[in-house]
Amino acid sequence: MTTESLPPELEHSHSPDAIRARLQNDPEHSYLRDFIYGAVDGAVTTFAVVSGVAGAGLAPNIVIVLGVANLIGDGFSMAAGNYLGTKAEAEQREKTRLMEHRHIAHSPDGEREEIRQIYAAYGFEGALLEQIVTVITSDKNRWVNTMLREEFGLSSISPNPFKSAAATFIAFILIGAIPLLPFVANLLIPFSGTYLISTLMTGIAFFAVGAAKSKFVEQHWAVAGAETLIVGAIASGFAYLCGWVLQGIVA
């Protein structure tokens, strides 16, 4: 099948030359996932603050103060959590890698048997199975990487914790600032319906972020967008209700 005749659902060519060129490049970790989920959290939490203040009937300038505090504080907290989580995964991967190197050094026959049983479970047997075991165990790095993947379910690709944290923080700030923009504009040029405009803008942001999230899941973009919009609306509704109930205390 030529590249021109590929059906549209295939993302890349499967000609021998294209496959060879693609596999020669080292796989790279994508940080789009960190960006998408940082954006979702930023939009939800900031608009929840806006809704809570609006429900309590407080002044618009309080929305800005609390919203900016949420953007910086919550954004940094989420980025720090992502950094520590990514770093912990990398440390776990490295610890397991060193352990496998020790096991190969002290019990190579046992480790070969593990490789043999792993590929026997895939249906390989006889001389072909022994050839696979010989090829994999002839290179220690290949041997260890195979054990990481097959025995422990760990990827050999380690994302950069700083890049993961930065992607999360930047997305949180950029998308999380959207609910605040009408209130900032209202300080410069006063107008009515600020909360309504903020709601509409945030709803669009919710849907757009959810639709973008569909790249990472087997879900139609419209369904993913609607799902994120509904989750954001529920969170914002609870925040508005809490603000409305507690407005007497504030007064």
pLDDT of res. 26: 53
pLDDT of res. 234: 86
From residue 250, alpha-carbon distances to 50, 63, 240, 246 in Å are 16, 14, 14, 7
Give the residue among 64, 101, 41, 94 at the shortest CA–CA distance from 194: 64
Tracing tokens 């973008």 back to the chain, one arrives at 212
pLDDT of res. 162: 92
User: What gap in Å lies between CA 247 and CA 242, rounded to an integer?
Assistant: 8
pLDDT above 50: residue 61: yes
pLDDT of res. 250: 59
- First and final C-alpha spacing in the chain: 73
* DSSP 8-state secondary structure symbol assigned to residue 155: -
pLDDT of res. 77: 92
**Tokens for 217?**
């899941």
pLDDT above 90: residue 28: no
Confidence at 113, pLDDT banded by 50, 70, 90: very high
pLDDT of res. 12: 58
pLDDT above 60: residue 11: no
Range of lowest pLDDT (11-25, 26-40, 41-55, 68-82): 11-25
pLDDT of res. 138: 92
Average pLDDT over residues 197-203: 91
25: exposed, middle or buried (Cβ count in 10 Å: 0-12, 13-18, 19+) = exposed
Which amino acid is present at 39? A
**Tokens for 110?**
């046992």
Confidence at 237, pLDDT banded by 50, 70, 90: confident
